[in-house]
Chains A and B, each alone.
Chain A
């Protein structure tokens, strides 16, 4: 149990286009999901907290108008990178929090975004 999926697993796009990444909790409901970004040889950096039915909370330095987050249901959160540029190329990872005594977070497999 506790499986989180992401789609697509990789995407290549042209500069200036928008890209949507989906994060789904397959066998549990997740009121809260998180989005991270990871550059090569670096640690994960938390971008935002996604709450079902409310606006996302962004970490300092993350542009909310560039990284649009929608958490429309208890099993789906989407991250849209708007007007992508080469510097947005990165590995994007989501996690979903399962409500329990420890509120464990389970991570998706990640999405590799390459902006040409």
Chain B
């Protein structure tokens, strides 16, 4: 399973756009990239998933360059409620679906 590397923490202010980059140099051909959000004492919540280029949904965008060795989660106009830990995971969901969580990025949004 490809290992992921993310910044340990990030600070932002309300209304700003936040970009969290994840490195996954050993990503395999069949691997997808998934981002989860976790609040304290809660289970992770699915944010977005992609394979290449750009994916956008109602809460975030995911940018994946052509070499797929990194990905960037973009959160537009964050609010205080976006303060959480964000995990980037890489996995081949057709091979048992195992997800190995890295350290995650603790995002702190300030007023």
Contacts and interface: CB of A to CB of B under 8 A. Distances in A.
B96 to A, nearest CB: 7
Interface stretch (B16-24, B64-72, B100-108): B100-108
Q: Report, as a range, how many residues of chain A touch the other chain.
A: 20 to 34
**Most B CB within 10 A of own CB, among A49, A105, A106:** A105
A110 B97 contact: no
A32 B93 CA distance: 11
Interface of B: 32, 34, 36, 41-46, 49, 87, 93-94, 96-104
Contact of A105 (B94, B99, B100, B103): B99
Nearest to A32: B97
Nearest to B1: A46
A45 B44 CA distance: 13
Interface string A87-110: 000010111010000111111111
Interface of A: 4, 6, 32, 34, 36, 43-46, 49, 91, 93-95, 97, 102-110, 112
Consensus secondary structure, chain B interface: loop
Contact of B103 (A43, A49, A95): A43
B42 A102 contact: no
B60 to A, nearest CB: 15
A95 B45 CA distance: 10
Contacts of A44: 44, 87, 101
19 contacts: A32-B96, A43-B102, A44-B101, A46-B101, A49-B98, A93-B44, A94-B43, A95-B43, A95-B44, A102-B49, A103-B94, A103-B97, A107-B43, A107-B44, A107-B45, A109-B42, A109-B43, A110-B41, A112-B41
B101 A43 contact: yes
A49 B43 contact: no
Given A49-B96, A104-B49, 18 more contacts: A4-B43, A34-B97, A43-B87, A43-B102, A44-B44, A44-B101, A45-B101, A46-B99, A46-B100, A95-B43, A103-B97, A104-B34, A104-B46, A105-B46, A105-B99, A107-B43, A107-B45, A112-B41
